[in-house]
Chains A and B, each alone.
Chain A
């Protein structure tokens, strides 16, 4: 009964906020429902007939989970998926509420949910196997993509999260499968402690290995014995081919190291391979997987392409040093000339913006004139000022970066200026933090979420 009240309250919240145009309606329904019945998530998810796939990691959750959802839909399955990236407990609950009717019935086979790093333990404990599901083919799959430094003021340290995940994953039933990134020592370290089934993905292409380790790295120490790891090379950040000379722990051979990757960016290879991994565990045949991958487009805000007045806009979410470095590398490789950076410091972005100094803006070529906006536009402008190269001076001369960095405090003004500054068929690349991405979408498309 309580669950039913919670369900109605949740659905009413969504209805009301939709009518009044309040917020994105992404988390409030769940919040309200959970406050009435904390079991509502378990109750609703127990109706899923075939299984649950949970995707966790610092970067790549939204893209990976959306590919998995598409593959399942291609196979004709009914899928519930938190496509907009509301990945806290309230967001996932909201997604289930949205898909349930007013009688509380959910008609779906699969739940595919990306979860926030801190929420993974709670989500795993909520998705208890229902008595009706035991002995059936109900499957639980957990995908662990990577662990990078992100929002230290919110999450705390990478090691702390790894520990939390280990504790949360240990009690899972033995026939659960965990899909793991072989190139991430921290993720492999978690896998070592688990008794369930494991399958690894990774990049084998040695040509792409760089010998120098990028600055903003974590996990350069063995998760098993604590010694400094040896790297044959890294693809980016601390992901690469690694081994420990002391305790002999090393990168496992990945089962998935190949696939039809249509999205640009090295990081997207991992996302696609992870999705292939999950699909193989489900016994989905290669043809369906390849078919889906052939027309995979970017997920919500992740290299999402919009066309505004005939001009192309690409949104590339950039919310932590590793993600930002890879976004920069990717857009530069795509030939970007017009860049708009939007830096906010709201709760979803992380209130401390010190992390932008861990991003290698020094790689920006001279022919790119960046425009800056957001709550902390001046901090980002400052970072860009200090990223510019210095030329050798005659004695006594003082040098200053001469090209002004364009700062527009108001996002609408920044967008207007940037769009006016490009020709039709040219692309404007926008690199926003999370809340900035929502704002940009709202302004450009008139809606905050899908």
Chain B
């Protein structure tokens, strides 16, 4: 019997074969399960080098993860010329998205390697990244940050922290009008200088957090899901609360470990 009132979302996963280092697919797993546990159907579309743009337009939510150098280069040209402009259009239309690590760098204006010319990006987020060279300290470690209250990411536990692991050489600097995602409590963040982590623009989040980011931060996962549903179905969405005690327990372990109360 067909369920005609069942809600569904389509997640467009960019370059899953090239840009999915170190557990990033966990973000897709978390989004998928948190929908399915609520009876919301999920379809995950792989957007690869060979995929047509039309597939990307069908996305209600976009995800793009981290990558190693060689894979990054392979995806880079395709992203700049073909997929990037489509993603930009969707982000401007308030389609929610999550861009982690190398993806976060890729959606800016440019990435300046230590040696060589800057690599241009589609400028979806008003930011740029530069690499100070291998002599400089790499920004690695567990990180805790406090959410920028402007986004109103609510959760039943009234938690405002996010926990994760960062691992990047590049330093990202936000443009004047781009809001940071969170304020660093322990760790380095975007550049180790200004005390900020990540960035948010409309319904899109960019972040350096591995973990993966959504696993111990269920409030962020639910924010993305509810945004996707709201944009798709055009009305305010109340997500059924889930039992996140395990998520928050894991979250708390890291808060305690880093001395944040």
Contacts and interface: CB of A to CB of B under 8 A. Distances in A.
B156 interface: no
B219 interface: no
Nearest to A352: B165
Contact of B25 (A358, A390, A405): A358
B39 A354 contact: no
A159 B68 contact: yes
A149 B68 CA distance: 11
A157 B69 contact: yes
A378 B249 contact: yes
Contact of B39 (A152, A159, A398): A398
Contact of B26 (A157, A357, A376): A357
Contacts of A149: 21-22
A137 interface: no
Interface stretch (B88-96, B208-216, B226-234): B208-216
Interface in A372-395: 376, 378-379, 381-383, 385-386, 390, 393, 395
Nearest to B240: A398
Nearest to B3: A395
A382 B36 CA distance: 16
B29 interface: yes
Nearest to B35: A390
B216 A354 contact: no
A138 interface: no
A395 B246 CA distance: 26
Interface residues of B, number: 40
A354 B246 contact: no
Nearest to B218: A382
A153 B140 contact: yes
B17 to A, nearest CB: 7
Nearest to B28: A357
A355 B5 contact: no
Nearest to A361: B29
B33 interface: yes
Given A354-B165, A382-B247, A152 B22 contact: yes
Q: On chain A, which size bracket covers the interface?
A: 35 or more
A226 B38 contact: no
A449 to B, nearest CB: 28
Nearest to B241: A398
A381 B246 contact: yes
Contacts of A356: 23
Nearest to A391: B36
A357 B37 contact: no
Interface in A151-177: 152-153, 157-159
Contact of B142 (A152, A351, A383, A398): A351
Contacts of A399: 36-37, 39
A352 B22 contact: yes
B29 A354 contact: no
Contacts of B74: 221, 226
B243 interface: yes
A187 to B, nearest CB: 17
A349 to B, nearest CB: 13
Contacts of B210: 352, 354
A158 B37 contact: no
Contacts of A152: 21-22, 167
Interface in B4-43: 5-6, 17, 20-26, 29-30, 33, 36-39
B11 to A, nearest CB: 15
B70 interface: yes
Contact of B250 (A157, A351, A378): A378
B37 A379 contact: no
B141 interface: yes
A215 B250 CA distance: 25
Interface in B139-167: 140-142, 165, 167
Contacts of B140: 153, 351
Most buried by A among B30, B37, B141: B37
A355 to B, nearest CB: 5
B210 to A, nearest CB: 4
Contacts of A393: 39
Contact of A358 (B17, B22, B246): B22
* Among all A-B residue pairs, the 4 with the closest Cβ atoms: A357-B26, A354-B23, A357-B23, A378-B250
27 contacts: A153-B165, A157-B68, A157-B70, A226-B70, A351-B165, A352-B165, A357-B23, A357-B24, A357-B29, A358-B23, A358-B25, A358-B26, A378-B250, A382-B215, A382-B216, A382-B250, A383-B215, A386-B29, A386-B33, A386-B215, A390-B36, A390-B37, A393-B39, A395-B5, A398-B37, A399-B37, A400-B37
